[in-house]
């Protein structure tokens, strides 16, 4: 019936939420230690909705870095969202701008990969997409706010394996997006380049530089250069 | 100070919104050349790898560590196997977190 795509979207969001929950909790605890209030954390999670971006923002805030340099750093770190946004442009052609805005606000590494792999096998469906994004987003907002609330009461996160939630999620996303051997090779190249850029000191721009170079190399090889 | 932080958070939110919204909104009006579509198809896999590989190699003491003390790298081994075999987010996450928890409690 009409709600089937909604349920399907929520179902696909479940593993994402499983990863966001410990991450969000950890973020809330750290943000609280930095002096952010529950409302500030809630608004940040609503508007920024970016695990890596928010962790970096709070880390830099606690170091006393100026607001504008933090904003510039996050712009670099999250510039990958521009590329994700560009690649979903083909799916939103028939949507009005407000709907495009609502859907794209929910783009994260995780929702992007899950939605685009779904649309490879199913027709594009706005209800599915919104349900997936909003379920993930609400989980993120509530878990980060909960983190502020429980603050110091939380037991040692490392002993629970929670600190590996994020890397595990990216490992899964890597294999979900590596469609073929060429994808794996481009991915491997990006990983090596990323480490290299960090070693030479480009630790804010490493992800975007490595991604752009590896993808360009992939296209060049594909076209026989 | 508190209101300053709120303004900062809102500007940060706006920046992220524009990053996410503008390319989709502008590019959906035009047909991209095939080579650009191809290029975009490599973006996700490259991004995931560029994010995670440095995390797996890094320890508190060094940027690149291939030692038995690097629990991230150790935990990655079964996680990668499960991810490659199942391509399932839930199974991979469970494998990674359980492995890490076991290793943390051993050392």
Same domain, A47 and A134: yes
With 0-12 CB in 10 A as exposed, 13-18 as middle and 19+ as buried, what is A80?
A: buried
- For chains A and B, CB pairs below 8 A equal 287
Last residue of a domain, one of A122, A137, A163: A163
Instruction: Report whether pLDDT(B60) > 90.
Output: no
DSSP A200: T
Cβ distance B63 to A199 less than 8 Å, yes or no, reads yes
φ, ψ for residue A69, nearest 5 deg: -70, -30
With CB atoms and an 8 Å threshold, state whether B97 touches A164.
Answer: yes
- Distance (Å) from the C-alpha of residue B48 to the closest C-alpha of chain A? 5
The residue to which tokens 């009461």 are assigned:
A153
Task: Specify if A168 maps to a domain.
Answer: no
Which H/E stretch holds residue A50?
none
Residue A173 lies in a domain: no
Distances (CA, A) of B73 to A26, A107, B8, B26, B68: 21, 28, 36, 41, 8
pLDDT the model gives residue A170? 86
E strand residue ranges, chain B: none
A127/A215 same-domain check: no
Q: Which of A25, A45, A86 to mutate to test the interface with B (most CBs of B within 10 A)?
A: A86
Tokens of A87: 């690649």
Collapsing DSSP to helix, strand or coil, B81 comes out as helix
pLDDT above 60 for A197: yes
Of A85, A87, A173, the CB nearest to B19: A85
A157 CB neighbour count, 10 Å cutoff: 15
Residues A148 and A49 in one domain: yes
Same domain, A105 and A156: yes
DSSP annotation of A178: -
- Of A115, A130, A163, which residue is a domain's last? A163
In this predicted structure, which of B30-39, B68-77, B79-88 has the lowest mean pLDDT? B30-39
Classify the phi-psi angles of B67: left when phi > 0, otherwise alpha if psi is within -120 to 50, otherwise beta.
beta
Q: Do A109 and A218 belong together in one domain?
A: no
Percent of chain B with pLDDT over 90: 54
ipTM reported for the complex, 2 dp: 0.88
CA dihedral A205, A58, B101, A18 (to 10 degrees): -90
Higher-confidence residue of A51 and A124: namely A124
Residue B107's CB: how many other CB atoms inside 10 A? 8
Q: How many domains does chain A have?
A: 2
**Rounded Cα distance, A139 and A46, in Å:** 10
Min Cα–Cα distance to chain B from A24, Å: 15
A169 falls within a domain: no
- Cβ contacts (< 8 Å) between B62 and chain A: which residues? none
* Angle between helices B2-27 and A97-105 in degrees, nearest 10: 120
Residue A45 sits in the same domain as residue A72: yes
Dihedral sign for Cα atoms in the order B37, B39, B40, B42: positive
Mean per-residue pLDDT, A93-119: 95
Which sequence spans correspond to the domains of chain B? 1-30, 32-106
A99: buried, middle or exposed (CB in 10 Å: 19+, 13-18, 0-12)? middle
Instruction: Give the mean pLDDT of chain B.
Output: 90
Residue A203 lies in a domain: yes
Position A171 in a domain:
no
Whether the predicted pLDDT of A156 surpasses 70 = no
Cβ-based neighbour number of residue B8 at 10 Å: 19
pLDDT of residue A160: 74
Q: How far is CA A52 from the centre of its chain?
A: 7
Which domain, by its residues, includes A194? 178-225
Band (pLDDT 50/70/90 cuts) for residue A92 is very high
- pLDDT tens for A159-195 read 777 778 888 988 998 998 887 889 999 999 999 999 9
Where does the pLDDT of residue A85 fall: very low under 50, low under 70, confident under 90, or very high at 90 and above?
very high
Shared-domain flag, residues A49 and A110: yes
CA–CA separation, A85 and A63 (whole Å): 31
């Amino acid at each position: 019936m009409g709600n089937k795509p909604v349920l399907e979207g929520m179902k696909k969001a479940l593993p994402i939420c499983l990863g966001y929950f410990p991450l969000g909790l950890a973020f809330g605890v750290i943000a609280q230690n930095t002096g952010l209030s529950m409302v500030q954390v809630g608004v940040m999670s609503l508007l920024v909705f970016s695990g890596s971006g928010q962790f970096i923002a709070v880390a830099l805030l606690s170091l006393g870095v100026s607001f504008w340099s933090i904003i510039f750093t996050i712009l670099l770190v999250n510039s990958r969202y521009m590329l994700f946004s560009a690649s979903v442009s083909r799916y939103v052609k028939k949507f009005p701008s407000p709907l495009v805005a609502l859907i794209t606000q929910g783009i994260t590494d995780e929702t992007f990969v899950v939605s685009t792999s779904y649309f490879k096998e199913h027709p594009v469906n706005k209800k599915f997409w919104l349900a997936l994004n909003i379920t993930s987003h609400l989980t993120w907002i509530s878990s980060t706010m909960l983190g502020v609330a429980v603050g110091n009461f939380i037991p040692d996160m490392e002993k629970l394996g929670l600190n590996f939630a994020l890397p595990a999620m990216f490992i899964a996303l890597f294999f979900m997006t590596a469609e073929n051997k060429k994808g794996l090779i481009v991915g491997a190249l990006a990983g090596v380049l990323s480490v290299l850029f960090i070693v030479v000191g480009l630790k804010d721009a490493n992800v975007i530089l490595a991604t752009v170079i590896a993808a360009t190399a992939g296209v060049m090889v594909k076209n026989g250069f | 100070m508190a209101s300053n932080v709120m303004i900062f958070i809102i500007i940060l939110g706006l920046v992220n919104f524009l990053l996410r919204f503008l390319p989709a909104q502008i590019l959906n009006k035009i047909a991209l050349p095939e080579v650009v579509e191809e290029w975009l198809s490599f973006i996700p896999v490259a991004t995931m790898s560029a994010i995670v590989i440095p995390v797996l190699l890094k320890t508190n003491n060094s940027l690149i560590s291939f030692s038995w003390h690097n629990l991230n790298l150790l935990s990655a081994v079964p996680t990668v196997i499960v991810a490659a075999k199942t391509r399932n987010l839930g199974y991979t996450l469970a494998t990674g977190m359980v492995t890490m928890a076991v290793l943390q409690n051993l050392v």
